[in-house]
Amino acid sequence: MRNSHAFLLLFLGALSAFGPIVMDAYLPALPSLKSYFLVNESRIQLTLTTTMIGLAIGQLIAGPISDRFGRRTPLMWSLLLFTAATIGIFFVQNINLLIALRLFQGLACSAGIVISRAIAKDLYDGERLRKFIIIITIISSVSPILAPSLGSMMLRFGDWRAIFVALSIIGALLIAANFRFVESLPRQNRLSGGKGAVYAYSLLLSSRKFMLYIAVCALMMTGMFAYISASSFIYQEKFGVSASVYALLFGANGAVNVLASIVSARMSATRALKMGAWIFLLSAIIVAFALICELSIYAVIIGFMLLMCAIGFVEPAGSYFAMQKAPHYAGAASAVLGFSMYFFGGLVAPIVSLGNMMVTTSAVILLMAILCLIATYRALR
């Protein structure tokens, strides 16, 4: 019995989108969470930070575990943990408990992200792997379009808890889909034990080329997370747009990301990576001028759209190059890739809320763009 190609696309796309959905769906509720718990913006940002740190650390754990025990069983346990943590959020009465449960959500979601890439590497190679990664990226990129809209819609039927009701339902659906999934890693291809995981990580971390491609992806995604963590406050509090309009703007950026991913599939991975790095720098310059010089909201929208466009070129190409450098340790390689992207993204979330958010957000995105361009050309050298 084999997994059909269509089922794999939908299932792996949903798994890779799971983490972004968990982060993005409640973005429209951030200002209301601030009022509900009577805390400052930095405290609310910690609910994002802990989620991303959980997503980062969890991948380092889930990657080798899936190389050792296969993909299906670790994935099932992670989905059960996510559902339990999400149900627990229904009953929280203080911000500290919410922050803790968001950490468990992140840890649980991490398996879906890392294992989806590992499954793709189990089944495909070369250009077929690149095309499959691009398709998964396109599917997962729809989540930024749908997630804030889902959150905004749920806020019409209840308070912020309604969003987590919807997330628990999504978790249950993925549990059902996992029962249909046929294991992709044969027993003879699995790591033999804990030493195998240590060896895999040491081998990957000592590979200069692999780590340069990891840096490219991590720097790109850190810039994106700076945008994610600040955009709700920038659009809703500085420019006064409603939660519905914010969700629309966020969704439009997701659509741009999807279109860029489609275009990148029609060019070589090298060209896509270079183009994305330059677009990232252009977007960072526009965002910096727009926010610091207090230009109109339209300049900010253009800058953020170009940022999401850059991700559509950089993420699939950078991930493809990184995974190609680790043909025998797909889980561990995917874990390092995911950890790097989410860990630094988690660190940047509270930083952008320090002092003047317009200045800190601009500085972070611009610095990431410059470093990403340098890393790109060193990796391709």
CA pair distance 117, 326, nearest whole angstrom:
12
Written as six digits, the tokens of 218 are 């991590």
Tokens 């077929």 found at: 128
Task: Give the list of residues 6+ apart from residue 281 with CB closer than 8 angstroms, or none.
Answer: 369, 370, 372, 373
CA pair distance 17, 173, nearest whole angstrom:
14
CA pair distance 225, 52, nearest whole angstrom:
9
The Cβ-side half-sphere exposure at 41, using a 13 Å CA radius, reads 18
Question: What amino acid occupies position 247?
Answer: A
Q: 335 with 63: CB under 8 angstroms?
A: yes
State pLDDT tens for residues 242-256: 877 887 887 788 788
| Cα 309 → chain centroid | 15
Angle made by CA atoms 134, 140, 141, in degrees to the nearest 5: 85
pLDDT at 54 > cutoff 90:
no
CA pair distance 29, 155, nearest whole angstrom:
8
**Helix spans in 239-268 (H):** 243-264
Q: 209 with 220: CB under 8 angstroms?
A: no
Domains of the chain as residue ranges with CATH:
5-380 (1.20.1250.20)
State pLDDT tens for residues 307-318: 999 998 998 889
**Please, which pLDDT band fits residue 145 given cuts at 50, 70 and 90?**
low
CA pair distance 146, 247, nearest whole angstrom:
9
Written as six digits, the tokens of 136 are 């998964």
Mean pLDDT of 65-93: 88
Structure confidence at residue 1 (pLDDT) = 56
What's the pTM? 0.73
The residue among 64 and 88 whose pLDDT is bigger is 88
